[in-house]
Amino acid sequence: MKAGWRLGLHVALWVIASPLIQVLAGFVGSSAFSSLGRFAPMLTLFIEVSILLPWAAWIYWRHVPHAPGVGRRIVYAVAFVCVLWGAGYAALWATWFLATMLFGA
């Protein structure tokens, strides 16, 4: 499999898993951490970040091509972060839209 396809596949898996992890962490946070009160959302966010951020770093480290210059490497990093952020935001919006359509407002 070509490197570009592997990168695209891993980014797609990250995008699909991102809202699922957020929904799962929200469920766990609301049920398991309810005794923490106002700190429960922060712990839920920590769970999400501790899963998604290392995974994104691994994808970048393993699948983004190496560049000879520092400038090009920075451009690759910025583009990678922008693509993941935009795709993750779109996936989260699609999850919200689907949940609203299925279960009502």
pLDDT of residue 105: 63
Domain count, the chain: 1
Helix axes 70-103, 40-63, angle to 10 degrees: 130
pTM of the model as a whole: 0.79
**SS (HEC) of the chain:** CCHHHHHHHHHHHHHHHHHHHHHHHHHHHHHHCHHHHHHHHHHHHHHHHHHHHHHHHHHHHHHCCCCCCHHHHHHHHHHHHHHHHHHHHHHHHHHHHHHHHHHCC
pLDDT in tens, 6-50: 889 999 999 999 888 888 887 777 777 666 677 777 777 888 889
Domain around 64: 3-103
pLDDT of residue 67: 81
pLDDT of residue 78: 94
pLDDT in tens, 65-89: 888 888 999 999 999 999 999 998 8
pLDDT of residue 58: 94
Span 89-105, average pLDDT: 86
